[in-house]
Amino acid sequence: MDETVDGLVALVKQRETIPDSGAAYSDDVLVNFLDQALKGFIVPGMEAVLEEHFVVTQDTQMPTIPSYPYGSPPTNIQNVVMIPGESTGLRLRDVYVVGNDGTFYNLPRLTPTQAASQGYGNVNWGLQYNNQLNSVGGFYLQGNQLQIFPYGLASGKTIRITYQRAPADLCLNVNAGMVVSIIGDVITLNKVLPWYSGITRVNAISGDLPHDYVQDATVPTVVYTSYAPLSNMLLVSCVGNLITLPAGVGANIKPGDWICPRGSSVFAQNIPKELLPVLVQKAATMVLEAAGDREGQSSAENTYKDMMRMGLLQLAPRVIGKPIKLIPTNSAFKASRIRGWGRR
């Protein structure tokens, strides 16, 4: 099966006997249907099984925060962390503080009202206060940012967030180049691409399943964190089908990988191959709906639901011999408290 977007477009045309008529639906239009099906149905379906398929981490080193002088609130202080725009639903999986000794503190989520009712605002407030019944430190949401509460809680420490990174937008093969060879920071692609004159940022997508971003060789990976992806590289220069990347970043790129415009991919990233037919089926259903074929759409939608149901059975438990089990809250391996038991 051709896992590239071109291959998926060809399958959409074959599905439900959709004629290959460029007059009705060009390949670009079919890619849009595939992208809508990916983000609107496949990704939410995968997230629903709660098996961490798209989860990555991001660390933010917080500066040492000065004291909060009486009657004079500090300004221009970094006390917030932004929710990454690439996260699905602009939401997070979890939030931690990592102490200077490596200790994890799982920050609880507060409402602004809960934060305001506690009466703590000084930098001297410490994490140990979470062990008291009358006060809880954590964070609350304000738009698309986390406000760390109380002020100074994470002073000089690391805020670690986990979130589900959305797959990149789909693009046709014609808009990307496959790596043929690489010498140092100079890459030879399989063709000359027209967009080089207007594109300054590119990414590197692995040619191997699950087609995630290639790892940036210049950034060390901290224990318990995700590697730095080559998702936003500067395109230093291009001559014909030769491109030059910044020094050292391409050390992990190999023949068969793809160079795409930033934010795009010739693969549906991190989607198991068992769900690719489901993606194709949903896109074909959307095409039939757009064409006004209600009878064909209804039949195709029923097939999609059956395929989706069977496809999701392939996803969980992700470790077949070790399914998630109920864990008592006094266990060293507890994840959260829900009426005394369980995992969330």
pLDDT at 19: 53
DSSP assignment string, 133-179 = TT---EEEEETTEEEEESTTTTTTSEEEEEEEBPPPEE--GGGSEEE
Mean pLDDT computed over 269-281: 96
Pick the more confident residue, 122 or 208: 208
- Please state which of the ranges 122-126, 139-143, 223-227, 293-297 shows the lowest mean pLDDT: 122-126
143-148 long-range contacts, CB within 8 A, separation 24+:
144/82, 144/83, 144/90, 145/80, 145/81, 145/82, 145/83, 146/80, 146/81, 146/82, 146/83, 146/92, 146/95, 147/79, 147/80, 147/115, 148/62, 148/79, 148/80, 148/81, 148/107
pLDDT at 271: 97
Pick the more confident residue, 120 or 344: 120
Tens digit of pLDDT for each residue in 66-105? 777 777 777 777 889 999 999 999 999 999 998 878 888 8
Mean pLDDT computed over 173-197: 90
pLDDT band at 25 (very low <50, low <70, confident <90, very high): confident
Residues 6+ apart with CB under 8 A from 24: 291
Mean pLDDT computed over 292-310: 94
**What ranges in the chain are assigned the alpha helix state H?**
5-14, 27-37, 43-48, 112-116, 276-290, 294-313
Structure tokens at 327: 């864990």
Mean pLDDT computed over 295-320: 93
Tens digit of pLDDT for each residue in 188-233? 999 988 766 677 899 999 999 999 999 999 999 998 999 999 999 9
pLDDT at 99: 81
Q: How far is the C-alpha of 160 from the C-alpha of 137, rounded, in Å? A: 16
Pick the more confident residue, 24 or 316: 316
